[in-house]
Structures are given as structure tokens and as C-alpha cells.
Structure 1
């Protein structure tokens, strides 16, 4: 039966794409067909959207760009502002349909969110209801994998994000500890604390890499721990 997961993070620039790609490689190594999806991308570099490119490279089936990335904006700014400036409405139903189309083909679909869990997606002057990435995750109905960026303050950020995930009625399928600060003190004690507070172990603890190698990091992901 096809499955999907929604990957979110404790902040922007926290390694969601790296972890999403590592998950794709890990599932592919078990013999599954996999595809990555980036519903909303903001930030174009030389005519490409890096997150989308990385997800496509980590997927082992090819799907139309319009399904993988329904909304792409050139400026690296908040998506609802980028949408407003370009006269585009980010339609959750469009994303939902694209996700369903991908899941109909792939064994595993990894949907990477944008920014943190509560990043606004709607422009308040164009819609009657505000919605954010958390609302999108709820609409898609996928269990959530949280990327917790290990740096000063990460315990608080992670627990607040988990609270937001659970208050939305979503399932926390697992979390990945991604080392952002190589000089972080008491790393193991911090991870143990979070594992106790979340009542579940991390799917993996990723070491700091200046140039992350998702295929290599996939070996550190334990899919058997997924809820």
C-alpha cells in the first residue's frame, strides 16, 4: 500500500531537504519506488530551485515537474509574500491533488514542507481563511517526520513544534536530529532528554557535514523506528 510522510522542521534552513533526500534513499535501498515532493519552493538559483532538484535526484521514478513542485517563486522570501507579489494564490487543493497523483504511482512519497511548521501560505488580502504549512499537513493527512536542528535552543524549538503538530491532530511518525552546530555541548545528553520527553527515539542522528551527502546519511536513518 502506498505511503507518504510530511517532513517539517524546527526552523528554516534546518536540513529538511537533506533529511527528505536521505529518507528517499533509505526507502529506495529497501526496494521501494520513491518520489519526493516540494509543494512550495521559494528561492531560485541560476534558473533552478535547489530543493526541488535534490529531491528529484534522490527519487527513483520520474514525475512531471507540475506535480513535484506546484508552486515555485524566485525570491527566497516567505511564500505567502512571494505569492502575493506575483499575483498567485497557493491553493491547498491543488497541492493535495498533486500529492495524490504521486502517491498513486510511488510506494513512498516524501513531501517536504517549506520553512517551519507554522509558516503562512495564504495572503490575508486574497483569502477569507488564513492557512499555513501545518494546515497543509492536516489536509494531506500524512504522518509527520520532524527535522530537529541541533544548535543552541533546539530543545525548546523542537518541543514547541511537536506541540503544534500534535495539537493539529497529526501523528508524529518520528524525528531526526540533524547536527547544525559541530561545537554543540552535551550532544548525547540533549538527544536523550528529547527522546524521553517525546517518548520515542530519533530515526537517526546526523553528524555535521559542511556539504551534506544525503545518500551517505541515509545509512544513519532507521526506518524500523517509524510509527
Structure 2
């Protein structure tokens, strides 16, 4: 039976993929058969092989269990807009059953551990009735919260945690990602969060100029997840 973790962020563009990729690299180094799953993506690029999302490609490359792209990212859309709107524009819907089927397929492919990366923040609409967080609750996935370190992150982090706890989901850990190397009072903000976040602190992603190329192995402590 595979163990799966869901990666959410305090906002969009706070480093979910960077954290997911780094976790996969750490688990791979431990000899685990791990896979990344980016069930929903928007802002994809057209290629001869079909639509491709940069985040999903990063997860695919970092995983020790090699899977075809369509298995890593089954719901892919070209416009960089809310995915449910992008899906509607091409006459599709994002069904929770489809998200579940994708996760089961990865587990059946031999994954011991799956890192599932969300899209945007915690409350991502799938349609006018359902949220991606409803699916996370349905699957009872432990959540890892990525806090993007910027002005307002304390409020965003605590609101996200409150929403997750309201759905009675376990918070497996949290990571802070330093988005701005010149953020005012960054150490004090981190210290405040370490006192208030009700979950293990897995580590800090330092500010890097080229996140896609950065090797961040060693930054995160995966022992609380094992």
C-alpha cells in the first residue's frame, strides 16, 4: 500500500513544485520507489507530444519510478487560468473520480510513496460545487503546507492550516520557501511560524535565482514523514 502526501501552498507561485521535487529527490536517495502526481495543471505548452506543464515535468524527472507524462498529469490545460475555467473552454470537466483513478494507477504501477502536488492554494475549484480540497478529504491524504515567505505569509499560513484542520485532515509538516532574499524581518517571521504552526517543520528552501536548476537536496528533513 503506497503512502501519499498532498502538497498545498499558501498561494499560487509559492514553491510547491520546488518542495515536491526536493522531497522526491530525498525519498529517491533513500531507495524508495516514489512518484510525483500533478493531477491538474494549467498554463501548459503545446509540444509535438501534446500539452506539457513545467511543474509536472519536474516531478516526472525527480521521481525514482518512471511514469509516462499522461499518468503524472492527466488533466492538462493550455491557458494560464483557473483550471476549471480552462477545462470548460474545451468542453471538459474535472471529475473527482478521474483524480482518484489517476492516483490508483500510480499506486498500482509500483509506487511506495506518492507526492501529489495541488494547483494554486488550498481552495481550488473543480467546478461550481466541488473543490480540490474535497478530493483530498475524500482520499484522507496527509497535507504538507508550503509557506511562501513574503509580506502577509503569517496570515496566509494560519488561514490555510485552519482550513485544512476544519476538514479534519492531518498536517504532516510544513516548509518555508524564501521567495524574496530581502524580505524584512524574515527570521522573526519564521520564528513566529515555528511557534504557531501545529505540525513538524520540515525545513527551509533558501532564496535561489534559478529554481528550476537548483539542487536543494539536504534542505528538507523527511524523517517526520517516514
Task: Kindly indicate whether the alpha-carbon contact (under 8 Å) linking 2:171 and 2:199 is maintained by their aligned counterparts in 1.
Answer: no
Task: Kindly indicate whether the alpha-carbon contact (under 8 Å) linking 2:137 and 2:167 is maintained by their aligned counterparts in 1.
Answer: yes
Structure 1's unaligned 5+ residue stretches are: 125-129
2:59 counterpart residue number:
55
In structure 1, C-alpha distance between the alignment counterparts of 2:222 and 2:64, rounded to whole Å: 18
> 1:118 pairs with 117, 123, 135, which one?
123
1:199 counterpart residue number:
198
> 1:65 pairs with 56, 66, 69, which one?
69
2:18 counterpart residue number:
18
Task: Kindly indicate whether the alpha-carbon contact (under 8 Å) linking 1:83 and 1:90 is maintained by their aligned counterparts in 2.
Answer: yes
Task: Kindly indicate whether the alpha-carbon contact (under 8 Å) linking 2:23 and 2:220 is maintained by their aligned counterparts in 1.
Answer: yes
1:43 counterpart residue number:
43
In structure 1, C-alpha distance between the alignment counterparts of 2:214 and 2:182, rounded to whole Å: 24
Give 4+ residue runs of structure 1 displaced > 3 Å after superposition: none
- CA deviation string 1:187-221 (max 9, x = no partner): 22211211111134420111111211577213111
1:138 counterpart residue number:
137
Deviation of 1:186 after TM superposition, in Å, equals: 1.9
Structure 2's unaligned 5+ residue stretches are: none
Deviation of 1:65 after TM superposition, in Å, equals: 2.9
- CA deviation string 1:158-179 (max 9, x = no partner): 0000001110111100001000
Deviation of 1:144 after TM superposition, in Å, equals: 0.3
TM-score (norm. length: structure 2): 0.92
Q: Secondary structure at the match of 2:209?
A: coil
Asked if 1:103 is matched to 2:107, the reply is yes
2:153 counterpart residue number:
154
CA RMSD of aligned residues (A): 1.6
Task: Kindly indicate whether the alpha-carbon contact (under 8 Å) linking 1:15 and 1:178 is maintained by their aligned counterparts in 2.
Answer: yes
State the number of aligned residues.
221
- CA deviation string 1:51-85 (max 9, x = no partner): 11111110112223332111000001001111111
